[in-house]
Structure 1
Amino acid sequence: MTEPDTAVQPDPTLAALTGDWMIDPAHSRIGFSVRHAMVTTVRGSFTEYESRLYFDGRRPANSLAEIAISTGSVDTGVEQRDGHLVGRDFLDSRRFPRMTFRSTEVELTDKDVYRMTGDLTIKSTTRPVVLELTYIGHVVDPFGYERVGFDGTTTINRSDWGLTYNARLAEGGAMVSEKVRLQFDIAAIRTDFTG
């Protein structure tokens, strides 16, 4: 007896979105948050990046994402802290001006939810990460551009990429947590116009 197919099926309306896209930096955010001094959360983002996206609404496994982020573009709202982050203790942006993500597998796990596995390279270390991406919607803006939205998150251990700098607190514990939450609030514009 054949087992029923229990795989999540793509929404047929997403088929029309199949094609090439790029992230619109003016309406997107590639951010991070990390616990500081064990009592508060510091949030920041990267303001300069390039992207190449291919979304397959019929067969999600064919989808692809590539993002190259300028490590020197980190912005937490505090100039001194940003200077420390781009220095040798952390991102070392002079030696490693870019960090990259390239997807290796995409799977539809729920009606509007995708699991994207990919290789994240920071400094000279490449390790796999898994993003949970939620499809937000699709519109045509007043200028005629097609836009699609996704929100994504993942949590990494920064020491896995050699980002091990820290300071100990007198009460015990560390100044900066090992876990870093990455956030992707993406508005993408179609680039393979046919009209």
Structure 2
Amino acid sequence: MTVSDDSTMPGDLPGDLTGDYVLDPARSRIGFVARHTIGPEVRGRFDAFEGGAHLDGADPSRSRVELTIQAGSIRTGNPRRDAHLRGKYLALGSHPVITFTSGQVRRTGGTAFALTGDLTMRGVTRPVTVDLELAGVEPGPASGPRVLFTGRATIDRKDWGVNWSAAAGLVSRTVTLELDVAAIRRPPPPGR
């Protein structure tokens, strides 16, 4: 993620960042990396997603995040592989969305956080912990700041029933999720 020259890297999550945020999809990337036994890593991304967060600068443990990904928006640069992933891996016909809802936020260091929540994919919900780093804060539109986060989580695809037998020996069981996200603070409701 590129951080502009006018961004800041606070040592603490300042209280003035408290508020409700909406994901900025034009400046965000949700991707993944999987090892392949007969070739290079397979990298991909999802192009359609939306989400929001409530950040509590005074008490980050009270923060929360929700994310919805359109499973059909998966892209790896290979249309044939993408169609295969949509069908065999993601079961797009019966499970068109992937969701994440946070349950716990814990500060692990200055601007580092562990975000634990429920990831639902293929109709299966399992807990996942995302290691997040506040990468910067920059001026946003009139409603307030834009916050920039990077994150990673490693999951075992078999935990979500992604164990199509023909892929068992070709694709690693572990998949790394990679997040580069920007979120813009929503203006407070009228009268606040």
Corresponding residue number in structure 2 for 1:54: 54
TM-score (normalised: structure 1): 0.86
Corresponding residue number in structure 2 for 1:65: 65
Does the residue aligned with 1:61 lie in a helix, a strand or coil?
A: helix
Alignment partners' CA distance in 2, 1:48 and 1:166: 28
**In the alignment, structure 1 residue 177 sits paired with structure 2 residue 172:** yes
Q: Structure 2: give runs of 5+ residues left out of the alignment.
A: 1-9
**In the alignment, structure 1 residue 98 sits paired with structure 2 residue 93:** no
Corresponding residue number in structure 1 for 2:145: 146
What is the aligned length? 180
Alignment partners' CA distance in 2, 1:28 and 1:13: 20
**In the alignment, structure 1 residue 114 sits paired with structure 2 residue 113:** yes
Q: 8 Å contact 2:133–2:149 — kept in the other structure?
A: yes
Corresponding residue number in structure 1 for 2:161: 162
Q: Structure 1: give runs of 5+ residues left out of the alignment.
A: 1-9
Corresponding residue number in structure 1 for 2:81: 81
After superposition, give the CA deviation of every residue in 1:115-155 in whole Å (9 maximum; x if it has no partner). 111000011110001110000111114x5452110001000
Corresponding residue number in structure 2 for 1:5: none
1:193 deviates by 4.5
Supply the AA of the counterpart residue of 2:51: S
Segments of 4+ moved more than 4 angstroms: 10-13
Corresponding residue number in structure 2 for 1:6: none
Corresponding residue number in structure 2 for 1:25: 25
After superposition, give the CA deviation of every residue in 1:29-51 in whole Å (9 maximum; x if it has no partner). 00000011254101001111120
Does the residue aligned with 1:180 lie in a helix, a strand or coil?
A: strand
Alignment partners' CA distance in 2, 1:136 and 1:74: 25
Alignment partners' CA distance in 2, 1:37 and 1:166: 15
Does the residue aligned with 1:40 lie in a helix, a strand or coil?
A: coil
Alignment partners' CA distance in 1, 2:188 and 2:27: 20
Alignment partners' CA distance in 1, 2:108 and 2:23: 23
Does the residue aligned with 1:163 lie in a helix, a strand or coil?
A: coil
Corresponding residue number in structure 1 for 2:3: none
Moved more, 38-47 or 20-29: 38-47
Does the residue aligned with 1:167 lie in a helix, a strand or coil?
A: helix
Answer with 1 or 2: which has the greater Rg. 1
Q: 8 Å contact 1:12–1:58 — kept in the other structure?
A: no
* RMSD between superposed Cα atoms in Å: 1.9
Q: 8 Å contact 1:114–1:133 — kept in the other structure?
A: yes
1:20 deviates by 0.5
Alignment partners' CA distance in 1, 2:96 and 2:78: 20
Alignment partners' CA distance in 2, 1:86 and 1:117: 26
